Amino acid sequence: MDDRQSRLRAAERRLDDALARLETVLAAHRGRPRPDDGEAEGADGAAPTPESDLGEAVAEVRRQNDELKALSRDAADRLDHAIAQIDLLLED
């Protein structure tokens, strides 16, 4: 059970880190001029898009959230199984 708890804590830390990165991207996005405000073009000729940075951060947060949900479901299933076994022992 300790391994599951440590994995859950690690997933929570990764989620916190991803949220911090998302907040950083959002803060940077607020400070950037809009591409239609005369912002310089990037090396590929296209204006840089804060949306691509934001999209990457959101995708990472979603991935980590999905992982955390899966770990939580697994932990809940294991607890349900353990409780059922205890109930069986108490009935004897």
pLDDT tens digits, 28-52: 777 765 555 454 444 555 555 666 7
- CA dist 42 → 30, 38, 47, 61 (Å): 19, 12, 5, 26
Measured at the CA of 41, the angle between CA 37 and CA 43, to 5 degrees, comes to 165
pTM, to two decimals = 0.45
Angle between helices 2-31 and 50-91 (to 10 degrees): 160
Q: Calculate mean pLDDT across residues 24-31.
A: 74
- CA dist 34 → 7, 51, 67, 80, 82 (Å): 41, 11, 34, 52, 56
Task: With cut-offs at 50, 70 and 90, classify the pLDDT of residue 26.
Answer: confident
Q: What pLDDT does residue 33 have?
A: 58
Q: What pLDDT does residue 46 have?
A: 58
